[in-house]
């Protein structure tokens, strides 16, 4: 069964979109890395929306790539020295926030000491074209701090790794911009 037909994934992507819409309507504030202390970031597990219609079942590869992307993002954000990032395990989120509501996700992140939350969805629209929708959200206010809609080509380990490295650079550079 493809991820596109999986109702739970579709509901989760819809909720992320709704969360994003609400958060976009709020006044955002620029990202600021702490002068002396890294900013704590809770990285939510990334999700996949596959509308490519490919006949081959790639769920195993996609599950592995999503997990690696999520883990690498936390490690590489921490590696910038600007952030202290940790993945919020999916099982904790299912237990704490079974409905996936934004207010619950914000509270779950705050309860674990996060100042920011990373939310992301990979959309595979064809064999060659994927998008990575990414947002950093203030865990206290729910406001968007940064949003990116990145396109990348190729559904390979290498293309996913390059997209992750580019995203980390985008987040780092956004934090370094002066007010």
CATH number at residue 120: 3.40.50.10070
In a domain, 104, yes or no: yes
In a domain, 34, yes or no: no
**Residues of the domain holding 75:** 3-29+39-176
pLDDT (tens digit, 9 = 90+) per residue, 39-84? 999 999 999 999 999 999 999 999 999 999 999 999 999 999 999 9
pLDDT (tens digit, 9 = 90+) per residue, 81-121? 999 999 999 999 999 999 989 999 999 999 999 999 999 99
Contact between 137 and 119 (Cβ < 8 Å): yes
Model confidence band, residue 127 (pLDDT cutoffs 50, 70, 90): confident
Look up tokens 């202290």; give the residue: 84
Alpha carbon distances (Å) from 74 to 31, 41, 42, 164, 169: 17, 8, 8, 10, 13
> How many domains does the chain contain in total?
1
pTM of this prediction exceeds 0.75: yes
């Amino acid at each position: 069964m493809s991820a596109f037909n999986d109702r739970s994934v579709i509901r989760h992507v819809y909720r992320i979109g709704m969360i994003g819409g609400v958060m976009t309507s709020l006044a955002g504030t620029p990202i600021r890395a702490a002068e002396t202390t890294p900013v704590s970031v809770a990285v939510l597990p990334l999700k996949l929306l596959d509308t490519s219609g490919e006949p081959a079942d790639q769920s195993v590869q996609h599950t592995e790539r999503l997990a690696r992307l999520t883990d690498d993002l936390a490690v590489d954000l921490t590696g910038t020295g600007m952030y202290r990032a940790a993945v919020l395990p999916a099982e904790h989120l299912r237990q704490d926030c079974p409905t996936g509501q934004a207010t619950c996700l914000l509270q779950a992140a705050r309860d674990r000491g996060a100042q920011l939350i990373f939310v992301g969805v990979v959309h595979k629209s064809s064999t060659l074209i994927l998008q990575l929708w990414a947002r950093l959200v203030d865990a206290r206010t729910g406001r968007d701090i940064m949003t990116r809609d990145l396109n990348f080509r190729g559904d390979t380990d290498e293309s996913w790794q390059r997209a992750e490295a580019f995203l980390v650079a985008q987040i780092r550079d956004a934090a370094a911009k002066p007010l």
